[in-house]
Amino acid sequence: MKKVALVFVLAVFVPSLVLAWLAVRSLRDQQFLLERQQSLLYQGVADGLARDVLAALAEDQRVFAETASTLLRDRDPFEVARTFDDQLRRQWPLAQVGFAVTLTGEILSPSPAARPEARLFCDDNGRFLTNRESVEVYLNNPKLLANAMPAQAATTTAPDAGVDFLRRYGLSKAKATRNVIPQQVAGVPQKLGAAAIDSEQQFSKVEASEAEFRQLIGQDTDGALARFVDNKLSVLFWWRAARQPQLILGAQLDLPRLARELGVLVQQVAPELRGEICAALLDDTGKPAAVSHPGVRANWKRPFVATEIGETLPHWEIGVYLLDPARLTRSAETVKLTLGLLIAVLVLAIGVGSWLIVADLNRQLKLARQKTDFVSNVSHELKTPLTSIRMFSELLAEDRVTEPGKQRSYLGIITAETARLTRLINNVLDFARIERGEKQYEFRQCDFVGLARETVETYRPQLEAGGFRLACEWPASRQVVKADRDAVAQVIVNLLSNAEKYSDRRRDIEVRLELKTSPLPCVELTISDRGLGVPRDCGERIFEQFYRAHDSLSSGIQGSGLGLTLARQIALAHGGDVVYAPREGGGSCFTLRLPQSPEQTGNGPGI
Ligand code: ADP
């Protein structure tokens, strides 16, 4: 048993507890896991919007090149160039200023005197566009980078390859801090902590390079570049005609107008997520230039996730904000609670299951032990009468006993031992039948007083031969019960036989039959002895199969542990019971209770 329990504990209980402990530990990470899932989802949204914005800018760049080319068609390029600012703004409203410069460093348009914007533009960009000054610019020219870089570098990570290219051309890079710090960063392991996330996000991936205008445009036909002048962003598109490569036509974009145009894209943030998140196009100062949910208030500098748009709009970002930041915590709490409950139920189920298994195992082992005891008890009970029967029948058969008195006494012993054997075998057979559900009762109306008296009187000689004093008390009237006569007689004999077996020196047995009316009308046959009595706490257990309160070894009294089990089962089948009570002054009282038949009229049929 101990071994089985140990194996059970090691194979089932300990692993279950370890699993439960691991599950409880994983609960602590629920909020983080949820945040990771959400951040991956929303990062996808931000990345997608940033790509859309870049695509829209590329389209604007294409439209600008087409507009410039249309203006030049069939006309003298230098003549067009001189009024390019006016013409371009008329044709293409996104242009704040149109400019035309030659590679030799002459600004043909705009004229600083024409309007305040033109003068400001010339002040800010004049020296740079005429190649007299190298400035920090954000260059978005993948063609230029790809052409200049070796093939192997082009397939490696783009930022490093870009650094190589810039170094070769004598350009320098500067790391700038971002305007917004997202709360979540996809790809940074949580164990590195919030500080790592912040430092990862602190610096912008969009980097400026210092160069001259001529150097930047190289041999290309068009491009976009951005630069900060007095902390103010200026985005320039440029283009040159194939037939006049010395002339560069360009436009400085009207950023408020561009923001309005791009705002339309932000409005179309993933419709299925509109109830959860708000997207914003943040300008280079971290302020929202366009918001998907007008009127929403948020800490714009701390989006949930964010993506930088790129070199064309340096330090502009798409930020995604949670409309209800507490919802994530609430969901995590709900998940935690549900999983916690599940784990608790699981552990409880394992605990209860284990307890039931161990209890059942215990019961089975005990039953197995009792069955072994039973076999040895029954064998012994069979052997003892058989030995006497054989001994006395041999004596009689060989005519070694001639005295008639002795002969009668020996025959009496043989009869008594045969009756004992029959009783034992009947008990075993009946028990087996009841266990298999095959026991058939023949219920008939009968007089219980007559039946009990007859049975007790049949047993009397055996008791008196053993030195017992048997006192009986019978009611005067007959009491009708519906019963199987043989089965009821077997119960009475079992009780009498026990009274005989478990009596010591005080050999005094009392049989009393009483009528009871409450709670239901019934007859009660009580057999009391002055014997060993039943040990305390065993009053109910003695009715269990194979259970013996006085085992053969310690008491020397033989038995199978089936007599009372059978007596109770038979009584129950009759709608009655057999109960035990200690007898006042020492000994035991066993009572067989049977319900009175409704036809108790005193002259019922078949009695
Ligand atoms: P057994 O064959 O062992 O007598 P029973 O089922 O008839 O089996 O009885 C079960 C146990 O109840 C006995 O082993 C004994 O310990 C106890 N018992 C039964 N009758 C008496 C009695 N009259 N006095 C004391 N103990 C009794």
Quote the CA–CA distance of 343 and 573 in Å, as a whole number. Answer: 46
Bin 514: left if φ > 0, else alpha if -120 < ψ < 50, else beta. beta
Decide if 542 contacts 564 (C-beta within 8 A): yes
Q: Whose CA is nearest to atom 4 of ligand 1?
A: 559
- Residue 602: pLDDT over 70: no
Q: For ligand 1, what atom is nearest to the CA of residue 562?
A: 6
Q: For ligand 1, what atom is nearest to the CA of residue 560?
A: 2
Take residue 510 and report the two structure tokens written for it.
């009392």
Residue 156 makes CB contacts below 8 A (sequence gap 6+) with none
Distance from residue 534's CA to the centre of ligand 1 (Å)? 8
- Residue 155: pLDDT over 50: no
Q: Beta-strand (E) ranges in 181-229?
A: 208-211, 222-229
Query: Cα–Cα distances in Å, from 136 out to 120, 125, 127, 173?
Result: 19, 12, 13, 9
Burial status of residue 243 (CB atoms within 10 A of its CB: 0-12, 13-18, 19 or more): exposed
Distance from residue 467's CA to the centre of ligand 1 (Å)? 20
Q: For ligand 1, what atom is nearest to the CA of residue 532?
A: 25
- Residue 140 bridge partners (DSSP): 224
Confidence bin at 283 (pLDDT 50/70/90): very high
Q: Is the pTM of this model over 0.85?
A: no
Quote the CA–CA distance of 186 and 121 in Å, as a whole number. Answer: 40
Q: What percent of the chain has pLDDT over 90?
A: 47
pLDDT: is 326 or 307 the higher one? Answer: 307
Residues 72, 73, 77, 79, Cα dihedral to 10°: -80
Q: For ligand 1, what atom is nearest to the CA of residue 494?
A: 7
Weakest-pLDDT range from 86-90, 374-378, 440-444, 506-510: 374-378
Distance from residue 456's CA to the centre of ligand 1 (Å)? 19
Residue of 354, 356, 375, 352 whose CA lies nearest to 364: 356
Weakest-pLDDT range from 142-151, 251-260, 445-454: 142-151
Take residue 358 and report the two structure tokens written for it.
């161990």
Q: Beta-strand (E) ranges in 425-479?
A: 444-447, 469-473
Quote the CA–CA distance of 263 and 280 in Å, as a whole number. Answer: 8
Confidence bin at 207 (pLDDT 50/70/90): confident
Q: For ligand 1, what atom is nearest to the CA of residue 565?
A: 6
Confidence bin at 186 (pLDDT 50/70/90): low
Q: What is the pLDDT of residue 203?
A: 75
Q: Whose CA is nearest to atom 27 of ligand 1?
A: 534
Distance from residue 565's CA to the centre of ligand 1 (Å)? 10
Residue with structure tokens 């064998």? Answer: 379
pLDDT: is 591 or 379 the higher one? Answer: 591
**pLDDT tens per residue across span 320-329:** 999 988 887 7
Task: Name the range with the highest mean pLDDT among 124-138, 426-440, 469-483, 550-564.
Answer: 469-483
Q: Where are the alpha helices (DSSP H) in 92-157?
A: 116-129, 142-148, 151-155
Residue of 279, 278, 268 whose CA lies nearest to 318: 279
Distance from residue 531's CA to the centre of ligand 1 (Å)? 11
- Residue 76: pLDDT over 80: yes
- Around ligand 1, the residues with Cβ closer than 6 Å are 498-499, 502, 529, 531-534, 542, 548-550, 559-565, 588
Residue 39 makes CB contacts below 8 A (sequence gap 6+) with 184, 185, 186, 304, 305
Quote the CA–CA distance of 274 and 276 in Å, as a whole number. Answer: 5
Distance from residue 527's CA to the centre of ligand 1 (Å)? 13
- Residue 108: pLDDT over 60: yes
Q: Cα angle vertex 425, ends 507, 363, to 5°?
A: 90
Confidence bin at 168 (pLDDT 50/70/90): very low
Quote the CA–CA distance of 293 and 278 in Å, as a whole number. Answer: 6
Q: Whose CA is nearest to atom 2 of ligand 1?
A: 559
Number of helical H runs and strand E runs in the chain = 18, 19
Distance from residue 431's CA to the centre of ligand 1 (Å)? 16
Q: For ligand 1, what atom is nearest to the CA of residue 499?
A: 23
Distance from residue 557's CA to the centre of ligand 1 (Å)? 10
Can you tell me the mean pLDDT for 164-186? 62
Residue 466 dihedral angles phi and psi, to the nearest 5°: -90, 5
- Residue 144: pLDDT over 60: no
Confidence bin at 600 (pLDDT 50/70/90): low
Burial status of residue 238 (CB atoms within 10 A of its CB: 0-12, 13-18, 19 or more): buried
Q: What percent of the chain has pLDDT over 70?
A: 89
Q: For ligand 1, what atom is nearest to the CA of residue 561?
A: 8
Asked if residue 519 has a cis previous peptide bond (ω within 30° of 0), the answer is yes
Q: What is the pLDDT of residue 196?
A: 56
Q: Whose CA is nearest to atom 23 of ligand 1?
A: 499
Distance from residue 546's CA to the centre of ligand 1 (Å)? 10
List, in order of start, the domains of the chain with CATH numbers: 20-322 (no CATH), 326-436 (1.10.287.130), 441-595 (3.30.565.10)
